[in-house]
């Protein structure tokens, strides 16, 4: 089985010129405005980015031969320690973690740690032949990717890969909490439904998920549901272990970012992400402008942030 992954190096301007000479077929690529050059080699791709980190250029090798090709330049790498460097992502699970054969359907969620905005869950379908494309696009755990880049590749991902998506608006989320649901029970039901939706189209797929609760506890949340999928491979490192979960995390982030964008347009308000003191101050300003009642439509009211905002 192919094991595509990425290796990132930091090179000086002088060393970048050496790199450019070594790969005469570098071309411009517009998928990322921060990208200077792109090269597709035999079993690897190469991206050279604009200066960003302390005057250095980020260089990204991706594909089956990424390690081999990057080792040619390891002595120039400004981030190397003891001659070693680590892949940005690697779809090779820890032996202690669960495995999930192909074809696979994996699910992940986004938005549960953000005071403002919805909870988005996505299940995605991936075959082994898709690994090269995912590697070329740099798909990994969405938390390790720039939001601007996710918004750029999102349209291609939703067009090329089968997926099922569910989102819960803050108003719906708050209503469920008032009925006695908690975050994990909400997530479990959303994951189960997304997996069911996609499994109906690809019945012979194997199932996997980024583990947010122990397996027994996960299924306890689904008691009372009419249909429950079992036989799921759970991993606490799901985005790195399972390509379908990595893709699901990126698609969920893409959905979340688009919905946040629409919410910002609707209210003409910035809505910062997370649950920091900055978010707390933004919440107070939102209440001052729009009122307490409107806060329930844009924020998760079970957060302690809500108590601090409303006093």
Q: What is the pLDDT of residues 54-85, one digit of tens each?
A: 567 888 888 778 888 888 888 887 764 333 33
Mean pLDDT over residues 115-133, rounded? 94
CB neighbour burial string for 246-285, b if at least 16 within 10 angstroms, e if fewer: bbbbbbbbbbbbebbeebeeeeebebbbebeeebbebbee
Structure tokens at 222: 């689904």
Q: Provide the whole-model pTM.
A: 0.74
Contact (CB, 8 A) for 106 and 134: no
Q: Which of 158, 173, 219, 164 is nearest to 195 (CA)?
A: 164
Mean pLDDT over residues 123-139, rounded? 87
Confidence of residue 33 (pLDDT cuts 50, 70, 90): low
Q: How far apart are CA 106 and CA 104, in angstroms?
A: 6
Which range (77-81, 192-196, 236-240, 262-266) has the least confidence? 77-81
Which range (1-10, 123-132, 161-170, 288-297) has the least confidence? 1-10
Q: Which tops the pLDDT comparison, 5 or 267? A: 267
Q: How far apart are CA 217 and CA 231, in angstroms?
A: 15
pLDDT, one tens digit per residue, over 132-188 is 788 767 788 888 787 888 898 899 999 999 999 999 999 999 999 999 999 999 999
Q: Which of 132, 139, 162 is nearest to 89 (CA)?
A: 139
Helices then strands, each counted (H, E), the chain: 12, 10
Kindly report the number of other CB atoms within 10 A of residue 102's CB atom.
Answer: 15
The pLDDT of residue 269: 97
Q: How far apart are CA 193 and CA 121, in angstroms?
A: 10
Mean pLDDT over residues 200-206, rounded? 96
The pLDDT of residue 306: 97
* pLDDT averaged over every residue in the chain: 86
Q: How far apart are CA 24 and CA 191, in angstroms?
A: 47
Which range (80-94, 184-198, 199-213, 287-301) has the least confidence? 80-94
């Amino acid at each position: 089985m192919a094991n595509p992954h990425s290796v990132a190096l930091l090179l000086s301007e002088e060393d970048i010129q050496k790199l450019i000479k070594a790969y005469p077929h570098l071309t411009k690529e517009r998928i990322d405005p921060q990208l200077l050059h792109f090269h597709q080699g035999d079993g690897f791709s190469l991206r050279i980015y604009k200066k960003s980190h302390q005057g250095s250029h980020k260089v990204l090798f991706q594909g089956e031969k990424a390690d081999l090709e990057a080792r040619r330049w390891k002595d120039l790498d400004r981030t190397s320690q003891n001659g070693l460097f680590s892949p940005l992502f690697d779809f090779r699970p820890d032996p202690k973690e669960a495995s999930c054969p192909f074809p696979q359907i994996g699910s992940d969620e986004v938005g549960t740690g953000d005071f403002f905005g919805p909870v988005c869950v996505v299940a995605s379908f991936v075959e082994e032949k898709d690994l090269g494309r995912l590697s070329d696009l740099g798909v990994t755990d969405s938390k390790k990717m720039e939001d601007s880049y996710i918004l750029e590749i999102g349209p291609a991902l939703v067009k090329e890969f089968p997926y099922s998506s569910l989102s819960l608006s803050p108003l719906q989320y708050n209503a469920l909490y008032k009925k006695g649901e908690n975050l994990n029970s909400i997530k479990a039901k959303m994951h189960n439904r997304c997996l069911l939706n996609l499994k109906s189209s690809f019945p012979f797929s194997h199932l996997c998920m980024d583990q947010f609760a122990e397996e027994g506890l996960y299924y306890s949340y689904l008691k009372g549901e009419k249909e429950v999928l079992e036989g799921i491979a759970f991993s606490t490192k799901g985005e790195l272990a399972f390509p379908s979960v990595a893709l699901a995390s990126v698609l969920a982030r893409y959905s979340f970012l688009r919905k946040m964008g629409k919410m910002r347009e609707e209210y003409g308000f910035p809505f910062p992400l997370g649950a920091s003191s900055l978010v707390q101050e933004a919440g107070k300003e939102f209440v001052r402008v729009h009122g307490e009642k409107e806060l329930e439509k844009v924020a998760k009211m079970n957060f302690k942030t809500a108590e601090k905002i409303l006093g």
